[in-house]
Amino acid sequence: MPRPPTKNSSSSAASRSRILLHGASDSDSDRSSSPSSSEAEAEEEEEEEVVSSEDEKEEEVVIGNEEDKKKKAPITISLKKICKVCKGTGHQAGFQGATYIDCPMKPCYLCKKPGHTTMSCPHRVAMEHGVVPASRRNNQTSMDYVFDRQLKTEIPKIKPAFVIPSQVDCGLIKFHSRRITSLEFHPTQDNVLLSGDKKGQLGIWDYGKLHEKMVYDSIHSCIVNNIKFNSNGEGTFYTSSSDGTICCTDLETGIPLVLLDVNPNGWNGAATWRMLYGMDNNPDRGLLLVADNFGYLYMVDGRSKTKIGEPVLIHKKGSKVVGLHCNPAQPDLLLSCGNDHFARIWDARRLVGESSLASLSHGRVVNSAYFSPRTGNKIMTTSQDNRIRVWDSIFGNLDSPSREIVHSHDFNRHLTPFRAEWDPKDPSESLVVIGRYISKNYNGVALHPIDFVDISTGKLVAEVIEPEITTISPVNKLHPRDDVLASGSSRSLFIWRPREEDDSSRHQHEQKSKGFLVPKAEKKSRRKFDQESDDDSDLDPKGKKPKQKKFNGKTAQNGKSKVKIVG
């Protein structure tokens, strides 16, 4: 980072290197802050002040060697601590231990509003973890009234307690060779999970038998965006990919059949390469719907395996359509969402451009849009503006969402986009799961929990963590029948089940995970998992809270995953 030339520092080389060393090792030593680090920090700060008070003007050192040889701009290194976010002085953004300190000059990264930082965001403070409902709109329409009178009576009055799969049961560490991009449970075989990754690999795993797993890497050549099972019971499943194809693959043999290829002329540069996203099927018509990165929707007849009609522009031309969902109660009702910041409702029988039944506006890219799984009467979207939006009735006023729930999931590269997913088992259609981007300090380790949110109130129901999972879990899916959560975190897969007794702590230490399959080369780094055992020495006598442990740079606690029930 070239900076304007400054005069040479008068500091001695010795003191210079010492100071530089301090600066360089700073974040490291902070991250691994031992219990006694407060003293060290204080010492360090003192030293800093000495430096800056010694000579304010000499805050930059010129490394002059190169300047002597070539007449290039000199490379300078700042000795004064500057904020890596805004380059200003007087403060520093970044991790201090496992707590992230925000740059005060930037707007809040959570709610995106100026005047406060993420730490002091009212959305975070109010609900503790960044989830808060926006006020319910008060412009009830007559349709809302009809809905309340006629349909709501069908919905059970008493909400059953939410069941939270909060403890890791088993996992496949680095099963995939790239990060997980999609997950799908088998519709009838309870323990079978399919997973797709960024490289195009497709994993099939029977998590009832830890070792029954398989990875196919010849089905797709890049990102597997969607996995859907064939509803006709043929034992095949569909996948859509950024390689521009839909494949129909036999679950037993892994032999794929290409149903659709939207790049018949091959590669002619990135500007024209079409990628397929948001695949869903319409079981009533045996239709497969899929969309591309230029705004177009395609339809394929699942039986004749042929393309139907011409592609239809359903989102802004040239913009990526990221999601499609057929209404579970009325499959001809289609929901789409995309990079043009809109989610749209369509009648799939009359699909022509500009003919959407409704357009739902968002602040940024819409990562996902789903009808509710039972009645299909609600809509939930996840947008990169850090909000989960809920429309309580598709028959009501769709001009504005019924609720906006602020939640940290804004990250658009390096990670698979976050999507809030319904719990298909919740009769009240209000429990959803979504991974959290922003980290939280759990006994000295920065962890990214998986959040369970009640979208009828906006309340955070639970945040689940596993101290060994230090990576973000953007891909989550709840089982259609069992109390099971599957999560994809980086290249690893995890199966979560409810804690056997959430209220009692007596037998907590007896709970064990079944195990983790670790590739040979990774064994060393996974020692903690392998050792996970009857060792309950980290539990205090009451067994309620795990004892705090020194942060060793990797993990705060041995042992058990935890869930925090909020409220």
Partner DNA sequence: AAATTATGACTCC
Partner DNA sequence: TGGAGTCCCTAATT
Site residues (vs DNA, CB under 7 A): 24-25, 28, 84-85, 93-95, 100, 102-103, 106, 109, 118, 174, 179, 198, 320, 322, 339, 341, 364-365, 384, 410-415, 437-439, 446, 448, 470-472, 489-492
Using DSSP's 3-state secondary structure scheme, residue 401 falls into coil
Residue 339 or 476 with smaller CB distance to DNA? 339
Q: How far is the CB of 409 from DNA (least distance, A)?
A: 11
Q: How far is the CB of 72 from DNA (least distance, A)?
A: 17
Question: Using CA atoms, how far apart are residues 151 and 144, in angstroms rounded to an integer?
Answer: 10
Question: Using CA atoms, how far apart are residues 71 and 321, in angstroms rounded to an integer?
Answer: 51
Q: How far is the CB of 490 from DNA (least distance, A)?
A: 3
Residue 346 or 437 with smaller CB distance to DNA? 437
Residue 333 or 405 with smaller CB distance to DNA? 405
CA 207 to chain centre: 22
Residue 414 or 520 with smaller CB distance to DNA? 414
Question: Using CA atoms, how far apart are residues 173 and 189, in angstroms rounded to an integer?
Answer: 23
| DSSP 8-state class, residue 7 | P
Q: How far is the CB of 472 from DNA (least distance, A)?
A: 4
Question: Using CA atoms, how far apart are residues 166 and 152, in angstroms rounded to an integer?
Answer: 31
Q: What tokens appear for 364 in the block?
A: 């940024």
> Contact 172/517 with Cβ under 8 angstroms?
yes
Crossing angle of the two packed helices 37-54 and 13-31, in degrees rounded to 10: 140
- What burial letters (b/e) apply to 531-566, b meaning 16+ CB within 10 Å? ebeeeeebbeeeeeebeebebeeebbbbbbbbbeee
Q: How far is the CB of 312 from DNA (least distance, A)?
A: 20
Q: How far is the CB of 194 from DNA (least distance, A)?
A: 20
Q: How far is the CB of 316 from DNA (least distance, A)?
A: 10
Alpha-carbon distance values, 424 to 163, 364, 428, 435, 447 (Å): 12, 27, 10, 17, 27
Q: How far is the CB of 321 from DNA (least distance, A)?
A: 11
Q: How far is the CB of 240 from DNA (least distance, A)?
A: 15
With 0-12 CB in 10 A as exposed, 13-18 as middle and 19+ as buried, what is 49?
exposed
Residue 99 or 400 with smaller CB distance to DNA? 99
> Contact 101/112 with Cβ under 8 angstroms?
no
How many other β-carbons are positioned within 10 Å of the β-carbon of residue 417?
A: 20
Residue 237 or 529 with smaller CB distance to DNA? 529
Question: Which is nearest to 96 in space by CA: 44, 20, 53, 19?
Answer: 44
Residue 385 or 423 with smaller CB distance to DNA? 385
Q: How far is the CB of 210 from DNA (least distance, A)?
A: 20
Residue 282 or 439 with smaller CB distance to DNA? 439
Residue 248 or 415 with smaller CB distance to DNA? 415
Question: Using CA atoms, how far apart are residues 541 and 534, in angstroms rounded to an integer?
Answer: 15
Residue 192 or 324 with smaller CB distance to DNA? 324
Residue 160 or 519 with smaller CB distance to DNA? 519
Q: How far is the CB of 342 from DNA (least distance, A)?
A: 12
Q: Is 111 left (phi over 0), alpha (psi -120 to 50) or beta?
A: alpha
Question: What are the contacts of 69-74 at 24+ separation with CB within 8 A?
Answer: 73/2, 73/5, 74/2, 74/5
Q: What tokens appear for 25 in the block?
A: 């090792």
